[in-house]
Copies of this chain bind each other. A is one copy, B any other.
């Protein structure tokens, strides 16, 4: 057989550890705290079924035909108007493109902006899917640690001062994946000010923003962006359905135009039928009310996971209670999250080791990430007990 060599940009890239865990556990009887999946109860399935039938009856020719790369005009307009009215996102100079999930917005933004060898700053830990998308264009990826207020902006400025090739700062300011943390307003302002001063772009990835079930709303960085420094990636995955792969990106017109060219060569356009379906859903139904239902559900699941943890957590984990999003982040006083994850998997509980989210994946992390949106209440109760028992054994041997 032929021995294949791959491009330099892809040869070092491995499949996402999380997706491999998901694949390995698919269909098996495990308690999955490892996913990033919304609850199926969060899908407005009855409404979607009704709209789908209407589209097949009234406009199948349009829904099954090629569409334009920018995305369905009505959906672009509805999405932009909603972001503007509800969150003050978008200025005169901004435009919106529909993407195949929020993931594609990150990949396209990197493709059009970042040359090989440019520096990209990210939070450390951060979302593995985004880090790999960025890595696939061979930048120098530099992770900056976070504290309770978010990314260490002093450290960011240090890098900006010395490294003239910084092109982009990638952050998930709200309900960060994996840490669950929220960047403070002061830090958001400071980061934007740094981007303006040092002539770099911010990529604000914000798929969990509307999933707040406690605490106070904090403005997005994009809502403060009067100078066209912020590329905003959002998604309908967590508030309608992830399987349909519909996200969006708001950025200055010039950047969106270039992303359109990049999307054209990537997948021509996003699934036309589901763009119509979401557009019609927004027209007929109250998305805000639907989201409120999701928040109530996740708030309860988060409470349950946290209270179960509190019962059995005998100093094994440091945990901060999330105010929204999908994830709880657990830090052990010592040890390796990957070792704990392996032990848990053997007992039928899947969790993601913290090292999977590091800019430098070869480092050891004493953390694990838990998801509370997907597992049933029963699984949460059973799984947290197993997790704590396993941690007790693991840490006693350390």
List B contacts of A243 (CB < 8 A).
62-67, 271-273
A14 on interface, CB distance cutoff 8 Å:
yes
Q: Which of A47-102 contact B (CB under 8 A)?
A: 48-49, 52-53, 56-57, 60-69, 93, 100-101
Q: Are A133 and B266 in contact (CB under 8 A)?
A: yes
A229-B2, A243-B67, A271-B274 given as contacts; is B45 within 8 A of A60 (CB)? yes
A291 at interface, CB cutoff 8 A: no
CB neighbours (8 Å) of A19 from chain B are 68-69, 264
Contacts of A6 in B (CB 8 A): 112-113, 258
**Segment of A103-111, A306-314, A317-325 in the binding face:** A103-111
Residue picked from A4, A15, A101, A103, most chain B C-beta under 10 Å = A4
Distance of A48 Cα from B56 Cα, bound (Å): 8
Cross-chain contact A43 with B15 (CB below 8 angstroms)? no
How distant is A170 from chain B, measured CB to nearest CB, in Å? 13
Q: Is A115 an interface residue (CB 8 A)?
A: yes
Contact B228 A1 (CB under 8 A): yes
Is the C-beta of A151 less than 8 angstroms from some C-beta in chain B?
no
A348 within 8 A of B: no
Let me know if A136 and B107 touch, CB within 8 A: no
A183 to chain B, nearest CB (A): 23
Selected contact of A7 from candidates B45, B66, B112, CB within 8 Å: B112
CB distance from A87 to the nearest CB of B (A): 22
CB of A40 within 8 A of chain B? yes
Minimum Cβ distance to chain B for residue A146 (Å): 23
- By a CB distance below 8 angstroms, the chain B residues around A64 are 40, 43, 45, 48, 241-244
From A229, which residue of chain B is reached at the shortest CB distance? B2
Q: In the bound complex, do residue A265 and residue B4 qualify as a contact, i.e. CB atoms below 8 Å apart?
A: no
Contact of A10 among B8, B23, B107, B258 (CB under 8 A): B258
Instruction: Write out the residue numbers on chain B whose beta carbons fall within 8 Å of the beta carbon of A266.
Output: 100, 103-104, 107, 133, 266-267
A194 within 8 A of B: no
Q: Does A37 contact B (CB under 8 A)?
A: yes
Q: Quick one: which of A16-58 are within 8 Å of B by CB?
A: 16, 19, 22-23, 26, 35-38, 40, 43, 45, 48-49, 52-53, 56-57
Q: Is the CB of B261 within 8 A of A15?
A: yes
- Taking the complex as formed, is A126 at the interface, i.e. its CB lies under 8 A from any CB of chain B? no
Q: Does A336 contact B (CB under 8 A)?
A: no
Q: Are A268 and B244 in contact (CB under 8 A)?
A: no
| Chain B residue at minimal CB-CB distance from A7 | B115
Contact status A43-B23, CB under 8 Å = no
> Are B49 and A61 in contact (CB-based, < 8 A)?
no
Q: Is the CB of B268 within 8 A of A7?
A: no
Sorted nearest first, the 4 A-B pairs with minimum C-beta distance are A243-B272, A49-B56, A40-B61, A64-B241
A-B contacts, 24 listed (Cβ < 8 Å)? A1-B252, A2-B199, A6-B112, A6-B113, A6-B258, A7-B114, A9-B111, A15-B260, A16-B264, A40-B60, A48-B64, A49-B53, A64-B244, A100-B245, A104-B267, A107-B266, A129-B265, A243-B271, A244-B271, A244-B273, A245-B267, A245-B270, A245-B272, A271-B271
